[in-house]
Amino acid sequence: MTINRRWTIRPVRSGLAAALTLGLLLTSAASASAVPAVGSAGGGTVLGGVDLETATVLDLQQAIDRHRLSSVRLTVFYLNRIRSLNPRLHAVIETNPDALQDAAASDVHRRQHGARSALEGIPVLLKDNVDTKDRQHTTAGSFALINARPARDAFLVQRLRAAGAIVLGKANLSEWANFRSLTSSSGWSGRGGQTNNPYVLDRNPCGSSSGSGVAAAANLATVTIGTETDGSIVCPSGANGIVGIKPTLGLVSRAGVVPISAEQDTAGPMTRNVTDAAAVLSVIQGVDARDPATAPAGPFVGRDYLAALNKNALQGKRIGVWRGGIGDNAEVAALLDATVAKLRSLGATVVDNVDLPGLDDAFNNEFPALLTEFKHDINAYLAGTPGSHPADLAGLIAFNQANADIEMPFFQQEIFEIAEATSGDLTDPAYLQQRATATGSARAAIDTAIATNNLSAIVAPTNNAAWVTNLQTGDDFTGFVSSSGPAAVAGYPNITVPAGYSQGVLPLGMSFFGGRWSEPTLISLGYAFEQATNVRKPPTFLPTLPTLAAASTGSTATATTHHLW
């Protein structure tokens, strides 16, 4: 197998020529190329009089309709910005060689027929575990899949393209969605290297959807797509100061997404504001015959989440507060206290210290169940993906051993090996008991808390301050904060919104989660909180924090082992 070890950040010129063949005006393309140079603070983000840092997709649609922008101009801007910033961020593995041609086609479609959706002409980056059938690769960050050739787009990509969105490229990720090693560094892949947090570059971006989170935060695309099994949409969203939505299991099809587990995996939007996340989720939801889990979503997939945006949504709502994921992190506890006060000031009734009974049973059974599911699901994915690549998990393990210099220079593949030792049999009684206990306990915990306290949603901190990346020792979970588990294991929705900063620099998020199919409520609550607080600020691209003392999270907790998939 021939391995191309280089990233594929393609030059703008070849794609621009393709766009011009579709009749695009030379003057439009030339003005689009005149993007301000990216300096130490990230460069200019104003294009056609529109500040892309603060504009929503609705603002962009208006600007394009008024001929202040075009899809081609947006796409060239982002391709140039990726070329300028990605050497520091390692957030993008490759760009789409057809992006500008697709953008030109979108501009033509708009002129002739109007916009197909709020995403018409909008550049989107996909996590590199989402299949595309075009000239891009889908590798989960691993050279083992460099010669894989998916036969079709993932269902969610089909939905994006049908809505007129432009697939800009593939975002870096924790290789194999962080389900390879017990001592990995989040954000590292063999193909993409180590993704860096744009607020402080030596800090970790968290979670496996690291490239998607960093790319959205650093404005390398209008919107991005991430995936989550447990924490990998919400944690990188929180750590990178953006909005992330982990939908109800089955609302978004997983067909064409490199799996960990069909029982917990889902894709979702990662964006700079709630409006954009609502627009993306409205497009990518849908019932898909290739993913049986989407069948129950039938009554819910027609919802327009933009209609849920209500800045007064917190008035009269009952919000529970779960403190179980904070541990001893005093800094995050203080932020939660401030959030509670803000929710009350916005008219919500807050029920503090809500209990989620039975979570120990859920968490104790989650990982053993995932191991069996991963072996089964990754083998099925590989068997159904054309191209030259390992045939199964055992083949992936052998590939990594044979290519240890590029695949295992920093950490090994213990999770792969533990998963391979399982039966991979989804009819095994021991496995079935593990999954039933994990999912059932998590659902019962959330459902009971909501019913007992008559809640609209539960709020909890998303993350602690990002730790210093260390490829030799892996992720540092000292003082770790995470609230992703209950909703992730239950298959219930979760939205995180920027809520504050550690030391005024490192982002901290706040999560709202609730019962099955409760996306409209959660989006409305997240939007009301976002509009009332206006917390988010652009990244600063600091090389490091000024002093070692400043790196403290204020926590007295000791390091423990966690995983974000």
C-alpha R_g of the chain: 22
Q: What is the pLDDT of residues 6-63, one digit of tens each?
A: 335 554 433 333 333 333 332 333 333 333 334 334 569 999 999 999 999 999 999 9
SS (H, E, C) 29-53: HHHHHCCCCCCCCCCCCEECCEECC
Predicted local distance difference test score (pLDDT) of residue 26: 27
Alpha-carbon distances, residue 524 vs 176, 218, 342, 410, 518 (angstroms): 33, 25, 16, 42, 10
Cβ-Cβ contacts under 8 Å for 278 (sequence gap 6 or more)? 305, 306, 308, 309, 523, 527
- Match 């009332």 to its residue by tokens: 532
Q: Where are the domains of the chain?
A: 63-545
Predicted local distance difference test score (pLDDT) of residue 555: 35
Tokens of 28: 């439009």
Tokens of 312: 């007064």
Residue ranges in the chain whose pLDDT is less than 70 = 1-43, 548-563
Tokens of 73: 């101009």
Domain made up of 63-545: CATH architecture: Alpha-Beta Complex (3.90)
Angle 415-186-251 (CA atoms, 0-180°, nearest 5)?
Answer: 80
Alpha-carbon distances, residue 83 vs 77, 140, 226, 306, 483 (angstroms): 10, 21, 21, 32, 35
Query: Known catalytic residues?
Result: 127, 208, 232
Q: What is the pLDDT of residues 318-347, one digit of tens each?
A: 999 999 999 999 999 999 999 999 999 999
